[in-house]
Amino acid sequence: MSTLFYFILTIGVLVSFHEFGHFWVARRAGVKVLRFSVGFGKVLWSYQKAPEATEYVISAIPLGGYVKMVDEREGEVKSEDLPYAFNRQGLPARSAIVAAGPIFNLILAVLLFWVALVVGEEGAKPILGKIEAGTIAAESGLLEGDEFVSVNSKPTPTWTEALNVLIGAALDGDQEIKLIVKDRQGREDVKWVKLDHADVSDPEKLYKRLGFTPWAPKLPPVIDKVLPDGAALAAGLKPRDLLVSADGAPVGDWQQWVEYVKSHPGKPIAIEVERDGARQALSITPKVVQIPAARAGEAPKAEGKIGASVFIPDEVRNSLTASYSLGPLEAVPAAFIKTYEYSFSTLKMMGKMVLGQASVKNLSGPISIAQYAGESANIGFVHFLKFIALVSVSLGVLNLLPIPVLDGGHLLFFGIEAVKGKPLSERSQLFFQQIGIAILVTLMALGMIMDIQRLFQ
């Protein structure tokens, strides 16, 4: 229910802002708006100041919305309303009204990124953990304990920020990525991450191929949080339980326990825990999770997960975390830059998928979006804002694509009209709109297929 709530909230905010863009510009362009609706279907609530005024509506299905304008193409129009009809407006006015929806989505992204940057967030310091042989991290000469200072000259105060910039640069097609790192003694050095086309075709494989894992200190195997519906909850584990042994062997630290769990997917493990000074025996069966192959030709492997986190003492946590925020003025250009970078990356990824240079696994449907909405909201307010901003960028960029039916398709028709001096015939527009519908249905089907595959991985 929580996931569903945050999904509906996300879609409601994004669609409302998108449609408000059309509405706001239409009103200022002199077009009469009959109805502004949030949602589709049965009307649950409506408000209309006067019979000739705009009707504001909230409808039953909160997965969309629309703005209904006076338009001769959609029905009979009163003679007194003809000057205010959309189809009778000049080309610049019609173009501005159509473009306003996706542009408002990009504006919303800027606003949300600005709020996230000003509020700030706390995250793990970008310190590298164990470097596996054969990974890009090893090939780049990076060592365990190295801390990222910047990636391609962009400061990276947290692990999430470092990874986002790094993977973003890789997906943007950078063949070499410049890292500035400092070692345990505080000495800074320059490292170069070298990539080829095969490295960036699939973000999941890219992440594995990079081999960048966060550093973790040796911690006692004490349970902190037990996640719902996980193996730990089913086994009866509770916060502050100390793991003493697994299958008769002593558990020395948390990482040792994690590795043991990973190597036992779907296999029962006999454990002994210490709780409130007394020891008791339990049995736990780690959930099976499929991990994508790190390199082409390798098969994916199964790992075990129990759905529990480790207890970290405050003094250790403080030494491993960093806070990051900007002042209100300083955050303005940073928010615009983030929106531009994510817009460009989204557009570039779409192009790579069309050319076959990137996997369709990058597509996400409603199930994945709902899951990410719930997960980001559970992590924290700032993460949820950033998630909405990212989806808003995707929605804005997608709607600007020159695909008939989308806003970008209408703008394409207007461009042709500007060149020809007259609109395309209704027959031609209908033909291209049918092609656009076929493209969108295909994309939606692929997104759903990818979502269903992820559910069973």
Task: Name the residue with tokens 């890292």.
Answer: 179
Three-point CA angle 30, 32, 38, nearest 5°:
120
Written as six digits, the tokens of 128 are: 């590298």
CA 155 to mean position of chain CA atoms: 21
Burial of 318 (0-12, 13-18, 19+ CB in 10 A): exposed
What does the DSSP 8-state code read for residue 142? -
User: Rounded CA gap, 379 and 363, in Å?
Assistant: 23
Written as six digits, the tokens of 347 are: 């557009």
Q: Left (φ > 0), alpha (ψ -120 to 50) or beta: where does 212 sit?
A: beta
Catalytically annotated residues: 19
Q: Residue type at 345?
A: S
* Residue 445 neighbours by CB under 8 Å, 6+ apart: none
Q: Is 268 helix (H, G, I), strand (E, B) or coil?
A: coil
415-423 long-range contacts (CB < 8 A, ≥24 apart) are 417/91, 418/91
Strand 154-155 relative to strand 223-226, pairing: unpaired
DSSP letter for each residue of 95-115: HHHHHHHHHHHHHHHHHHHHH
Written as six digits, the tokens of 177 are: 């990525």
Max intra-chain CA distance, the chain? 88
